[in-house]
Structure 1
Amino acid sequence: MSSAPILNSGYNFPLIGLGTFGGQNGPKEVYKAVKVALAEGFRHIDTAYIYNTEQAVGTAVKESNVNREDLFITTKLWGNFHEPQHVGPVFERSLKNLQLDYVDLYLIHWPMSWEFEGYELCEWESRKSKSVTHVPIIDTWRAMERLVKMGKIRSIGVSNFTIPMLEDLLSKCEIPPATNQVEIHPSLPQEELLAYCKNKNIVLTGYSPLGNPGYMPGIVKTLEEPVVIEIAKKYNKTPAQVLLNWGVNRGYCVIPKSVTPERIKDNLTFFEMKDIDIEAITALGREKPIRTWKPEECFGPENAIFE
């Protein structure tokens, strides 16, 4: 159960990775967290150009004793760079930041495209000023396909894509997306999307797998749900371990973020869960799913993409 699935690109995909978005002290905390994670056995690290953590990840990886071939490094293309002529140059910046010769997975971070403002890393807090420029996804995708053919990327995928978006891309692409990284937690179980992606041989990755604690206090309380606490007692695990393995047992990857050494260590725990327990947790968000990441709130009303 803890074995990595094989992506449609032919590469193994570790089911629990370390997310590197945020952190109170940003890159410094992420650098320390990645060092701990690699020492504890994590082999999948997820970052993005916009996170401003690629350099921290790259330095931590370089200082580790882990063989590059044993690592799976993901980074992402931000919306300002969707025009095909910008994909290669900004990817080269990511590659330089990471101090790598190739990345294992490169994702379109969001399906929206925004005006190019130069290659310098923009401030995350300026994101709400972005206006949509409507660059066709397939144009961006073909530029990414070229990087695969050049040997600089092993797999390409998407993030925050809906089923209609995936349908459109699959109808036009040469290299199909290997993954779709989306928000998944018990308050947003994504059952339809999960079934669709399994049918299309696309592996989902769940971000905010613990329900984004603290972001919507009193609304999304997945770690405090009585059913989660009871199941944790049943398996002698923590509620966080239960939620991560709820995802793994459903057949997708999870990328919890943490900068706390003990939590990082605890997060890399695999165990099998009974179907009745998986269903009990899934049912929590089935009737009234709650999305904590809403693009219209993060980037402005013209960026709404979810129903």
Structure 2
Amino acid sequence: MRAKSFNSSENCFVLNTGHKIPAVGLGTWQADGDICTEAVRTALEVGYRHLDCDHLYGNEVEVGQALSEALRGGLKREDVFVTSKLWCTTNAPKRVETSVKVCLKNLELSYLDLYLVHWPLTFSFGDATDPPRKPGMELRQPSHRLKATWQAMECLVEKGLVNSIGVSNFSIQQIEELLSFAKIIPAVNQVELHPFWRQDDLVKFCQAKGIHVSAHTPLGVPASNLLSNECGSSGEDECETPRIAFRRCRSVHVPMIKTSVVANIAARLNKTPEQVILRWGLQRGTSVLPRSLRPERIKTNFDIFNWSLSEEDWKKINSLEPQLRLIDSGYSNISEAGPLQAVQETDDDIEGI
């Protein structure tokens, strides 16, 4: 069950670019202000060397503050893996470089280790999460959109602004289209993965193509109704880019960690249910990105090395049902076959493509 490309001595996976991605990262979604800074500070002290960020989360300044403190304290920049993402309103090709530079300024960094196309859709610059609902509005799927955006992403690598590029929440069909023209193969596909949403076919497909799979929401989420994120830092924005929180459409966090299969394994191994689930993800060959603001939980979530699940236990978790997707982007118009579907294209979007 040892994952391909997993380096057990360094607890990391080797990407198709040759760079190493730590197996456990701290998710920073919905972490605001001083609480965010403290969580990142705790994680780095515990031993985390992977931070999963996004300008959309509205807290990259706080993440940058904690990271800068650690770097001034002796931590080497090359020993920390920092990810950020390109949001759907800023993926017009000419905005891609500006967007990553905003992230770099807020994080106080000169380069990112990984930059991801956040979702396989796009809409007019400045729109909020709910796209225009005009009666009879024609939805278009321009074939040039993903190609042009990806070419702009590839330029970031050439300019040394990012080490690796990838995608997030992409399906098999969407990745297949991307591979048909990509000069740089995506290094990572970050998707929702947990025992109740395993996406087995997608994981196998990506791994067969040499694309590492990283698991966001690996422990499920508690029920919550989320609106636009007005909290967080006043870090630099590109023309007041909206900070938007996604809708959590259902909760399986409590049922997942309390299900008898997981609970029994955890009790027998003297581990927490969360540790068991994260270890399951690791043994699938995926890196995992648990989010927590609690110091003790941050510590225990990192303790998934130097022990393993038996083949029998791993298979039990791998057969849990039902399969339920938790994170809903709120767009019924996301197409499996049409990457970066344009909800509305403006002249500014099309210019120069």
TM-score norm. by structure 1 comes to 0.90
Is the CA contact 1:55–1:97 (under 8 Å) kept in the aligned structure 2?
Answer: yes
Q: Residue 220 of structure 1: CA displacement?
A: 6.8
Distance in 1 (CA, whole Å) between partners of 2:213 and 2:98 is 27
What is the aligned partner in structure 1 of residue 147 from structure 2? 138
220 and 265 in structure 1: CA distance in 2 versus 1, 3 angstrom threshold? closer
Q: How does 1:1-307 map to 2 (within 5 A)?
A: 1=8, 3-23=11-31, 26-64=32-70, 65=73, 66-117=75-126, 126-129=128-131, 134=141, 136-215=145-224, 216-217=250-251, 221-269=255-303, 270=305, 271-285=307-321, 288-295=322-329, 298=330, 300-303=331-334, 305=336
Q: Deviations over 1:139-170 (max 9, x none)?
A: 11110100101111000000000001111111
Q: Residue 138 of structure 1: CA displacement?
A: 1.6
Is the CA contact 1:114–1:133 (under 8 Å) kept in the aligned structure 2?
Answer: no
Q: Residue 301 of structure 1: CA displacement?
A: 2.6
* Structure 1 residue identity aligned to 2:30: G
Distance in 2 (CA, whole Å) between partners of 1:261 and 1:139 is 42
Q: Deviations over 1:179-230 (max 9, x none)?
A: 0000001110111111111111111011110122335346972111110000
Moved over 6 A (4+): none
Distance in 2 (CA, whole Å) between partners of 1:188 and 1:28 is 32
Is the CA contact 1:30–1:57 (under 8 Å) kept in the aligned structure 2?
Answer: yes
What is the aligned partner in structure 1 of residue 228 from structure 2? none
* Structure 1 residue identity aligned to 2:146: I
219 and 205 in structure 1: CA distance in 2 versus 1, 3 angstrom threshold? closer
Number of aligned positions between the proteins = 292
Q: Residue 133 of structure 1: CA displacement?
A: 6.5
18 and 85 in structure 1: CA distance in 2 versus 1, 3 angstrom threshold? same
Calculate percent identity across the aligned residue pairs: 39
* Structure 1 residue identity aligned to 2:319: A
Is the CA contact 2:219–2:253 (under 8 Å) kept in the aligned structure 1?
Answer: no
175 and 159 in structure 1: CA distance in 2 versus 1, 3 angstrom threshold? same
Distance in 2 (CA, whole Å) between partners of 1:220 and 1:172 is 42
221 and 77 in structure 1: CA distance in 2 versus 1, 3 angstrom threshold? same
- In structure 2, stretches of 5+ residues that fail to align are 1-7, 134-138, 225-249, 338-353
Is the CA contact 2:86–2:117 (under 8 Å) kept in the aligned structure 1?
Answer: yes
More helix by share: 1
Which is bigger in relative contact order (C-alpha 8 A, separation at least 6)? Answer: 2
Q: Residue 84 of structure 1: CA displacement?
A: 0.4
Distance in 2 (CA, whole Å) between partners of 1:304 and 1:201 is 24
* Structure 2 residue identity aligned to 1:56: E
Distance in 2 (CA, whole Å) between partners of 1:219 and 1:234 is 21
Distance in 2 (CA, whole Å) between partners of 1:239 and 1:89 is 42
